[in-house]
Amino acid sequence: MNKKHNRLIVIGDGIVYRYGNNYYVSGSSQLDFYECFDGIDEVIIWSRIYDISETDIPKYSMYDTSTLSKQVTFCGIFNQPSGLKGYIITMYERIKKLNKLFCKPALVICSPISVSQWIMWLLFRKRDLIFISRVIGDPDGIPDIKKSKAIWKVIVCFVKRLQVNYLAKSKLQTWVSSELEKKYRNPYVPSVIFHDGLIYDRQIVTEIKPRTKPELQLIFVGRLSPEKGINDLIDAVNMLSTSRIKLKIIGQGVEQENIRRKINEYNLEDKIILLGQKKWGQELFSEMRTSDILILPSYNEGLGMVLLEAMSNGITVIGSRVGGIPDVINPGLNGLLFTPGNVAELADAIKSLYDNEELRSKLCRNALITAHQNTREMQLERFHEAYMKNVYNYL
């Protein structure tokens, strides 16, 4: 049966790369989530799109649209300049393109923390659209990093107000963590928690990673931006400078040069190495498997998918007690938690595993159980069931 709202529009301001007619992403390029949308014939993915050269291709994962039963189209703003200036310069183009995109009925899924979503909601919400909300982060986390900038507090108030209205109009609210659902859920709209974990059950290792080197091998994987708390991790390593510890930092972002300077100031060049971006999949996972502990010291985190990826690869995890991270880490059972921003507490957590291989191994074994309880298959099934029950009949 043909549905009126047979287009799915996915609105975000994430980055997609283009070379020729192919599109790429720095993370996973899996598209199987869109097979959950029965009744949808076309998927339109809106993003910021940047052209890359042929030499850049090995850094990224290519979207293979031939694996889907639906037509997939990428659109958005091409080669947008960085920063707030970029959004201002492209504002007219963004409005014009979104206006054209929403001229026909559609099902829309997006996160409220997105400039394009703000425009959609303010200008086009009365069009013939059906909404599914996707809340992946907490707006309250922004001022913790930028306390000196009053403008951010105004933006947070605006985003939270918009989010309340958006959730109320949605046919289904979706969340990456119970913490976000508990804090922001509209009690009159159906709701489901599922995360964006990308590891299938068959990909989870069967054995934990034993410690093979005298140095405790630490690893951080993520965007190098202030809210990720990477400076706290460097401070913790500096506090433990007399211990035999190595830290690999994987990722790129605005804090990269500041991080490099801090490493040099502490004379930690022999303990900390910046590896840049690693392609999601085996290239990244091989780095994890040569490590003993993955650390995520964030100040604001929807869930922290990298924790589940580390667990799936048989290594121990330490995370900050913030956002959805406690949904993944049960302290003392499958990992360790510390108070965000508390460097001494983080250093103590690292040291406790440095001195106790039995504890580290126990955490690893239990983490594998957690990984099997959070597979890609389970998350897709959970969403699909909620979608069919609460959204499908409105198409």
Q: By three-state DSSP, how is residue 337 classified?
A: strand
Domains, the chain, ranges and CATH?
7-197+376-394 (3.40.50), 201-373 (3.40.50.2000)
Q: What is the pLDDT of residue 26?
A: 86
- Paired sense of beta strands 7-19 and 22-25, if any: antiparallel
How far CA 140 is from CA of 105, 145, 297, in Å, comes to 33, 10, 17
- Report the alpha-carbon angle 150-152-158, nearest 5: 115
* CA torsion through residues 23, 197, 195, 349, sign: negative
Q: What is the pLDDT of residue 145?
A: 47
pTM: 0.89
Which residue numbers in the chain have pLDDT < 70? 1-2, 141-149
* Per-residue model confidence as pLDDT tens digits over 251-276: 988 899 999 999 999 999 999 999 99
Amino acid at residue number 145: I
- CB burial of residue 160 (10 Å; 0-12, 13-18, 19+): middle
Torsions phi, psi for 310 (to 5 deg): -65, -45
Q: What is the pLDDT of residue 172?
A: 97
Q: What is the pLDDT of residue 149?
A: 66
What percent of the chain is helix, strand and coil (3-state, nearest 5)? 45, 20, 35
Residue 112 CA to residue 121 CA, distance in Å, equals: 9
Q: What is the pLDDT of residue 27?
A: 83
